[in-house]
Structure formats: structure tokens, C-alpha cells
């Protein structure tokens, strides 16, 4: 009787050990499954078969800190540097228009997500995050982009003038105001003061003072005067 009891106890012990081994094997199997923290597209394979992967700062030598690079195409956003002189015109939730250097004719609607609460002293700029409100397959990570911010009208004022982008060579002056020279009928020059918005190497946003379709002089501005007459060469 004692022998049968001993055999029974041994069998139960072996069964428990076998169960523990199964749990251990299942844990090892789960460790071989790599799960991404979000759905996306793999754009780079970092680690190769046989390499060691460890968290950043751990290990050394040829230890990798990642396996693949994944991009969530639905959460792309634009981060731009805005001059300190104009940051007061940017507000969280405000509308913006995004232009990709690769597709300058494409107007992409956006909105301001956040204004990073620190400035870059060396460049005199503040970083601004802008959400992309319209998805487009042509928008890819790390593309160069420009952003025009739509500033809100002052309280009690009616905003009737649309923003206009012109070449930098058509504007003289700096800061928040500048001067342009409109070419009217028969080439007559009209000097006009304008409110300036976002400036980039490619364009200057005119907040007020001119309308879309106005013809501007964009050369030899220092030689032009109000009332002059110029000849337009088509």
C-alpha cells in the first residue's frame, strides 16, 4: 500500500514538473512573437538574423536597439520652425495650408496641434506641430514642406481679404509690414503698404493690402516710385 502511495505521489510530482515545463515553453514561444505598438508600414529592417536586440543603453558592440522601423501613415504631421517675430500670430487649433516642395501646387489643409514652449536661440525660431487634415498617398515621411498659417481676425473685425503668396523679390521691407508696387492700367505704378505674414525662401504671405490677381513688380524695386509708368514685356 505504501509503495502504491509513493508511486502516486511521484506521478503527481512529475505531472507538476511537466506542467511547469509546458508553461516555460509557452513563455519562450511567446517571446519569439514580435508585436508592433501600432499598425503601420515597415520602412526599414534594423536587425538581422542572429543579432542581439536589447533596449537602448543596454549591451554593447553590435547589439541592436530595435528590429524594424514602422511608420503610421495616418498620424503623419509637419513640424516647422516659425520666426519669433511671427509666433504671436500662430494659435493652437488655427488653420494652416501645407505645401510640399515635391508638389508645390498641392494645397494640403492642416491645423496647429501645439506650439513647443521653447525657442531656438541660435535661429530665433519656435517649433510648431501641424496636423495634416487631408490624407494623400503623395505625402511621405521626411519630405520637405512649407506651412502658411491662417491668422484669426481681430475681435469685431471682418476678415475679407484672402491671404496671397508672392515671390520675396516683389516685397521690400521686413518685420510685420512691407511695401509692394502694383502695376495698374497702362503700366502705372502704385506703391502700397502691406501686412506681411510667413516668410520662406520661396514665398512671402501677404496678410492684407493686395488681392489675388493683382500684378506686382518683382525687380528693381529701389528704383520705382509711386506714379511711375513702366512698360510690361510679355
* Alpha-carbon dihedral angle through residues 58, 61, 64, 65, given to the nearest 10 degrees: 30
**DSSP-assigned letter for residue 216:** B
User: What are the residues whose beta carbons fall under 8 Å from the beta carbon of 75, sequence distance 6 or more?
Assistant: none
Q: Does one domain contain both 148 and 164?
A: no
Answer yes or no: is 85 within a domain: yes
Same domain, 138 and 180: no
In the predicted model, residues of the chain with pLDDT beneath 70 are 1-2, 56-62, 151-163, 233-234
Domain residue limits at 126: 76-152
pLDDT, residue 162, reads 53
Residue 186 inside a domain? The answer is yes
Which is nearest to 225 in space by CA: 182, 196, 194? 182
Domain containing residue 192: CATH number: 2.40.420.20
Q: 53 near 67, Cβ under 8 Å?
A: yes
Residue length of the chain: 234
Other beta carbons less than 10 A from residue 168's beta carbon: 13
What is the pLDDT, as a whole number, of residue 161?
43
pLDDT given for residue 128 in this prediction: 94
Domain end (from 101, 119, 152)? 152
Q: Does pTM surpass 0.85?
A: no
CATH code (residue 92): 2.40.30.170
Amino acid at each position: 500500500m505504501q509503495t502504491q502511495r509513493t508511486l502516486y505521489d511521484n506521478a503527481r510530482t512529475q505531472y507538476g514538473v511537466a506542467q511547469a515545463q509546458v508553461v516555460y515553453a509557452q513563455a519562450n514561444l511567446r517571446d519569439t512573437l514580435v508585436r508592433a505598438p501600432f499598425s503601420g508600414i515597415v520602412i526599414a529592417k534594423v536587425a538581422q538574423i542572429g543579432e542581439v536586440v536589447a533596449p537602448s543603453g543596454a549591451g554593447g558592440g553590435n547589439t541592436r536597439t530595435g528590429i524594424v522601423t514602422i511608420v503610421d501613415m495616418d498620424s503623419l504631421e509637419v513640424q516647422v520652425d516659425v520666426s519669433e517675430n511671427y509666433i504671436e500670430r500662430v494659435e493652437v487649433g488655427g488653420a494652416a495650408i501645407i505645401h510640399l516642395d515635391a508638389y508645390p501646387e498641392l494645397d494640403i489643409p492642416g491645423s496647429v496641434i501645439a506650439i513647443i514652449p521653447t525657442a531656438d536661440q541660435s535661429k530665433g525660431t519656435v517649433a510648431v506641430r501641424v496636423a495634416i487634415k487631408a490624407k494623400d498617398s503623395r505625402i511621405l515621411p521626411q519630405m520637405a514642406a512649407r506651412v502658411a498659417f491662417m491668422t484669426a481676425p481681430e475681435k469685431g473685425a471682418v476678415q475679407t481679404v484672402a491671404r496671397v503668396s508672392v515671390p520675396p523679390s516683389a516685397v521690400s521691407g521686413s518685420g510685420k509690414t512691407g511695401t509692394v508696387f502694383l502695376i495698374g492700367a497702362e503700366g502705372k505704378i502704385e506703391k502700397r503698404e502691406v501686412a506681411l505674414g510667413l516668410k520662406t525662401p520661396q514665398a512671402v504671405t501677404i496678410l492684407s493690402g493686395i488681392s489675388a490677381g493683382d500684378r506686382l513688380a518683382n525687380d528693381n524695386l529701389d528704383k520705382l516710385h509711386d506714379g511711375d509708368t513702366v512698360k510690361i514685356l510679355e
